Structure 1
Amino acid sequence: LGGKSPMIVMNDADIDKAIGGAVTGMRFTRQGQSCTAASRMFVHADVHDAFVAKLREKVDAMVMGDPLDEKTDIGTIISPEQFAKVKSYIDHGKGEAGAEAVECSAMPTDEKFKDGLFVQPVVFLGMTNDSKLAREEIFGPVTCVIKWTDEEEVLAAANDSDYGLAATVWTNDLKAALNFTEKLEAGFVQVNQNLVVQPGLSYGGVKQSGIGKEATLEAMLEHFTKKKTIIFNKT
């Protein structure tokens, strides 16, 4: 049922590990077409610039091209309709006051791909959590990196969403990690990693990201079956 999953990076986080988590978490290899995509990255002001520089370098190194070629890192958008939707969000973001669109990687140059549904990953800077791009699910390779300094304010911003599917926290401070994981309004929260749903791992969201869990036997029994009490009285 969708998501607008926050990724919160503290000033004491391992930046290289966080960058790996950002690339994996945004599912750039799927052109961002994932309900758990880390499409809101809240990065502490102390490490914001270094984070953005390393994220850009990492995504720039990814190859766009034929999805069936093993050398390809990034394929295409799934349909012309979704392609148009993603492009419209990017155009809207470029028109927002104070926004900066950092376009990464490079479009394939082979002539046979000229009509392909390729979109360069875009990292938007200078936006707030009130931006349309930070509030609505795009389902494309578009993320917003939002600078923060106050823990209570960033927690409130992360929770200020109609969605509540997934969230990640990046820090070496155990107390801070426990505080954020307790207060984040999301059904699937991770610290210092951004894995996709795994077999046997209960998975699901809250708010408009759905009701109930899946991916485990217990979750399936609880949410995909109905209990019935039957009593026989032998006459």
Structure 2
Amino acid sequence: FTRQGQSCTAASRIYVHASLIDAFVAALREAISKLKIGDPLDEATDIGTVISQRQKAKIESYIDLGARTAGAKVDRCGELPGAAHLKDGLFLQPTIITGVPEDSPLMREEIFGPVVCVQPWDDEDDVIARANDSDFGLAATVWTNDLRSALRTVQRLDAGYVQVNQNLTIQPNLSYGGFRKSGLGKEASLEAMLEHFTKKKTVVIDMR
């Protein structure tokens, strides 16, 4: 929900083991309900406004799709600001959506707003296949106490920036970039920039 979900590394799809998902969603709902929605220039604000009316309408259309999907549940969390001078602001509540099918646009497309879909899994091969079945491949995170599982999973995830037990944005001197529709080339480290944003040319001149 950093920058109202307007982040290329936003965790818009979360797969949680079926034995943990109910407790996870409850804890997530409780945590994001505490986020303060308000003036983006106020240091106390956690969730500000989205970039434009057009983008707000787009995000709301995704949320409405979730509400219309059979078997899905939409949880809008937190309180919209009540101050008169903010009444026309482009505010959206952080939203959790569960129970949508894997082929839903909510799972397939980039929402770019404060919306997350949480899905259960109980088979490792299946969940990795589902995670990789995307037009995008910028970032992924793995959360586990099992080092073997972590190493096995990061090898199999088809994303350019994979973290274990943390979800930080781009860091200096770490090659950063994705696969498929997630950008062209890599940045943030000199080696990556030289490799991806320049072209090498070999020139041989005989001066005799």
For this structure pair, what is the TM-score category when the shorter chain's length is used for normalisation? Answer: over 0.9
Counterpart residue number, 1:219: 192
- Equivalent position to 2:149, from 176, 185, 200: 176
Runs of 4+ aligned residues of structure 1 deviating over 4 Å after TM superposition are none
Match of 2:59 in 1: 86
Aligned amino acid, residue 21 of structure 2 = H
Q: For each residue in 1:89-119, what CA deviation from the matched residue of structure 2 results, as whole angstroms up to 9, or x when unmatched? A: 1111110010100111110000111110000
Aligned to 2:84: 111
Distance 1:151 1:234 in 2: 62
* Alpha-carbon offset, residue 211 of structure 1: 3.5
Q: 1:198 aligns with which of 158, 166, 171?
A: 171
Q: Which amino acid aligns with 1:100?
A: K
Tell me the TM-score normalized by structure 2.
Answer: 0.97
Superposition pairs for residues 123-138 of structure 1, below 5 Å? 123-138=96-111
Deviation at 1:181, TM superposition (A): 0.4
Q: Give the drift of 1:225.
A: 1.0
Task: Give the corresponding residue for 2:12.
Answer: 39
Q: Which amino acid aligns with 1:53?
A: A
Paired residues of 1:29 and 1:75 also in contact (CA < 8 A) = no
The whole-number CA distance in structure 1 between the counterparts of 2:149 and 2:203 is 49
Following TM superposition, by how much is the alpha carbon of 1:29 offset from its aligned partner in structure 2, in angstroms? 3.3
Q: Is the Cα–Cα contact under 8 Å of residues 13 and 118 in structure 2 kept in the other structure?
A: yes
Whether the aligned pair in 1 keeps the contact of 2:2 and 2:10 (CA below 8 Å) is no
Q: Secondary structure, in 3 states, of the residue corresponding to 2:185?
A: coil
Q: Which position in structure 1 is the counterpart of 2:113?
A: 140
1:53 equivalent in structure 2: 26
RMSD: 0.9
Pair 1:66 & 2:39 matched: yes
Residue type of the partner of 1:77? V
Match for 1:208: what amino acid? K
Superposed displacement of residue 186, structure 1: 0.4
Distance of 1:172 and 1:187 partners within structure 2: 22
What is the rounded CA distance, in whole Å, between the counterparts of 1:210 and 1:84 in structure 2? 25
Paired residue secondary structure (1:172):
coil
- TM-score under structure 1 normalisation? 0.86
Distance 2:193 2:148 in 1: 33
- Report the residue type matching 2:175 in the other structure: S
| 8 Å contact kept, 2:48–2:91 | yes
Quote how far apart the aligned CAs of 1:178 are: 1.0
Q: How does 1:147-186 map to 2 (within 5 A)?
A: 147-186=120-159
The one-letter amino acid paired with 1:165 is: L
* Corresponding residue number in structure 2 for 1:7: none
Asked whether 1:121 is paired with 2:94, we answer: yes
TM-aligned CA distance change 1:138 to 1:201, over 3 Å: same
Aligned AA (2:33): D
**1:232, CA displacement in angstroms?**
2.2
- 2:125 aligned partner, one-letter code: E
% same residue: 62
Residue deviations 1:41-78, cap 9 Å, x none?
Answer: 00001111111111111101110000111111110001
Equivalent residue for 2:202? Answer: 229
